[in-house]
Structure 1
């Protein structure tokens, strides 16, 4: 009876040790994945900031005016070409 109890305690101890090793291994894998995702998030935030800056640059009024004049040949209408429509 004492041997059986001792055997069961040793087996429980071994099972517990294997569980601890498995949990540590799983924790390390999840931590590495977490850090990789954190790095990816930071890179995406940097790209997003660059894109916002680029969008702001392209949307500036003087840039739009310059493109309209140079590439599209647009000009402001003169006073005699302006028509006011009243309801």
Structure 2
């Protein structure tokens, strides 16, 4: 019986560490409050980090869109310059519309009173 009683004493003598810590949290209200505040702060940090990453992703997408629109604008300016060249306009007028520059004999002067 001495062996059984010593084993029983050892089992009852060793406290459950988790239970003791948990009891300690509720005994000391300030410790429990601080632990709760630390937990809330950690969740807030995670939430703010997630939100800032989402905003950075949106910013990158908007910057990419701006660059694409800027490139498209440059292509449109080049195209506008191409279509506005006088030589090209004169060539189209001669070939497609059969237009020609008037000679001095074809000119008439109009005098307004």
TM-score over 0.5 (shorter chain): yes
Gaps of at least 5 residues in structure 1 are none
Which of 27, 45, 50 is 2:75 aligned to? 50
| Counterparts of 1:70 and 1:17, CA distance in 2 | 76
Pairing 1:82–2:107 present = yes
Aligned counterparts, 1:2-41, within 5 A: 3-41=28-66
Of structures 1 and 2, the one scoring higher in RCO (CA 8 A, sep 6+) is 1
TM-superposed CA distance for 1:74, in Å, is: 1.1
Give per-residue Cα distances to partners, 1:4-37, cap 9 Å, x unaligned. Answer: 2111111111111111111110111110111111
TM-superposed CA distance for 1:2, in Å, is: 6.0
